[in-house]
Amino acid sequence: MKTPADMAFPRFDMARPPKRQGLGWLISILSVIDFKKHQGSIKKINMENIKPPYLLLVNHNAFLDFKIVAMATKPYRTNSVVAIDGFLISEWLLRAVGCICTRKFTQDMTLVRHLRAVVDNGDIPIIYPEARYSLCGTNALLPESIGKLAKFLKVPLVVMINHGHHINSPFWNLKERGTRVESTMTGIASAEELAALSAEEVNERIQKAFVYDDFAWQKENQIAVTFAQRAEGLHKVLYQCPHCKAEYQMTSKDDTLTCTACGKSWMMDEYGQLNANDGKTEFSHIPDWYEWERENVKQEVLTGTYHFSADVRVDSLPNAKRYIDLGKGKLTHGMKGFVLEGNYQGEDYRLEKSVVSMYSCHIEYNYLGKHGDCIDINTLEDTLYIYPEGEDFSVTKIALATEELYKHETGGKGIIL
C-alpha cells in the first residue's frame, strides 16, 4: 500500500546547500524594533573567548525568539534551522536570510551535512531543539542525538534561554501582551571540552542549561499582564479538570478558566497565577497543572490503556508552495505509535510511525483558522497536518502521550528537562 510520500507531488529540495546569510540590514532593523519594544536585555556568560563558528541551541516560545537571537549574535552571520511551513512565507526570502529547511522530529542526515557546511563557512548554526513552541512556557523533551551532533561539529557549544517570550505571546493565544523580556547566553563547552566529553556528558550539560519556567520568571519579576483576555485559549493546554477529573470539558474566556462538567472555575491574575473562584486552588502555577496531566497520561501508558482513534481531515505539505487536501482519513495513536489511513483520488494510503521513531510530536491550536487543532506528522519527504473531528480529544494529550510512550519504550533514555 502507498504512503503519502509515494504520491506524485513535487518535493522540497532538502539537498540544496544553505546560503550564507544575507539581508543583514533588514534583519537588524526588524530585530532592533522588537528588542526595544520589549525592553530586551541579554546577559552573556562564559562567552569571552567564544567566537564563530559555534553551535547555538535556543529555547522556543514565540516568533520573537528569532529577533532576539539576531540581537545576541550580531554582527556575525547565522543559519537557523526552520520547519518547512515557515518557508511558505517565501522560499526565496527564507533561503536568503540563511534558513535551513527541516521536517520536525525526523532523523535527517542531510540536515547534519548542512550544519557542517555552515560551520565550515565560519558562521553560527542555530537550532531550536525542542522543535516546537513551548505549550506552557517550560522546557520540553530534547533529542538524544543533540550531544552527538555537538561533538561532530567540533565547535564551541552555546545555549541561549529567552525568558518572557511565552508570557508576551503564549502559544495558546498568540496576541502580544507587550511585556518585557530578558535572555541569557551561556557558553557551556569549548571545542576541546567537547572532544573529551562523551555524548551523554554533553547531553547532561545541555540538560542543566536548558531549564526554564516563564510563569515562575513572571511571578518572580512581577511582570504584570493587564491584557483582559489573558486566559483565553489556556484550556487548550489545561484540558483536564483537576477537581472532577473530566477531560476535554475545559473552556476559557477573558481571565477565567471553567470546567463545563462540574462548573468549577479559576481566575488568572496579572502575574500568571491561578486562583479558584470557589473552594481549593488545586494548581496556582500553570506548569504544575500541565505536569499533573502528563502524569495522568503516563499512568495510561504504564498500564497499557492509552488509546486514541478518530476520523480526521488530512493536508499534505510536500513542498513550500501550498497545502494539498488529501481528504478524510482515520488516525490511531496507541501503544505501538501512530497509524494514519486514508484514500486520495481513489488510491488507499497508510503511514505508520513507531513509538521509537518520534520522541515528541508537533501540534497546533486552530491552525491557520482552517479545521481546528491538529497534529503534524513528518517523514523525510512529507509533512501531514492531521485534524481530528469532533470535540472529545486534546492534541495536547496526544503530544504528552507521544513523549511518555517514547520514554517508556526506550527505558527512560530520552532527555526530559
| CB 80, CB 99: distance < 8 Å | yes
Residue 382 confidence (pLDDT) above 50: yes
Helices and strands (DSSP H and E) totals, the chain? 11, 18
Q: What is the average pLDDT across 346-350?
A: 94
Residue 367 has pLDDT above 60, yes or no: yes
Tens-digit pLDDT profile for residues 86-121? 999 999 999 999 999 999 988 889 999 999 999 999
> Would you say the C-alpha torsion 361, 137, 315, 100 has a positive or negative sign?
negative
Asked if omega into 53 is within 30° of 0 (cis), the reply is yes
Element (H, E) at 26: helix 24-37
Question: With pLDDT > 90 as the criterion, what percentage of the chain qualifies?
Answer: 92
Residue 265: its H or E element? strand 265-268
Q: Which of the two residues, 142 and 218, has the higher pLDDT score?
A: 218
State pLDDT tens for residues 145-190: 999 999 999 999 999 999 999 999 999 999 999 999 999 999 999 9
- Mean pLDDT computed over every residue of the chain: 95
Measured distance CA(358)–CA(104) in Å, rounded: 10
The DSSP annotation for 275-334 comes to EESSS--S-SBHHHHHHHHHHHHHHHHHTT---EEEEEEEEE-SSSS--EEEEEEEEEEE
Q: Which residues contact 19 (CB under 8 A, 6 or more apart)?
A: 95, 96, 98
pTM for this prediction: 0.95
Tell me what percent of the residues of the chain surpass a pLDDT of 70. 99
pLDDT at 8 (0 to 100): 86
All 3 cell numbers of residue 25?
540590514
Please give the domain boundaries of the chain with CATH numbers for all domains.
Answer: 6-221 (3.40.1130), 234-302 (no CATH), 308-409 (2.30.29.30)
Joined grid coordinates for residue 163 = 525568558
Q: Answer yes or no: is pLDDT of 416 > 70.
A: no
For the ranges 26-30, 107-111, 245-249, the one whose mean pLDDT is highest: 245-249
Write the pLDDT tens digit of every residue in 317-342.
999 999 999 999 999 999 999 999 99
Long-range CB pairs of 174-179, under 8 A, 24+ apart, other chains included: 174/62, 175/227, 175/229, 177/225, 177/227, 177/230, 178/37, 178/38, 179/38, 179/223, 179/224, 179/225
Instruction: Quote the CA–CA distance of 60 and 134 in Å, as a whole number.
Output: 6
What was the pLDDT predicted at 415?
Answer: 44
Are 138 and 417 spatial neighbours (Cβ–Cβ below 8 Å)?
no
Residue 195: pLDDT band (50, 70, 90) is very high
Q: Taking 80 as the threshold, does the pLDDT of residue 1 lie above it? A: no
Cell numbers given for 129: 531543539
Three cell numbers written together for 253: 474566556
Say whether pLDDT at 417 is over 70. Answer: no
pLDDT at 414 over 70: no
The half-sphere exposure of 298 on its side-chain side, counting CA atoms within 13 A, is 11
Q: Which three cell numbers stand for residue 251?
A: 473552556
Q: Is the peptide bond before 75 cis (omega within 30 degrees of 0)?
A: yes
pLDDT tens digits for range 62-94: 999 999 999 999 999 999 999 999 999 999 999
**Pairing mode, strands 374-378 and 362-364:** antiparallel
Residue 412's pLDDT band (cuts 50, 70, 90) = low
Q: Is 352 helix (H, G, I), strand (E, B) or coil?
A: strand
**CA–CA gap between residue 60 and residue 232 (Å, rounded):** 21
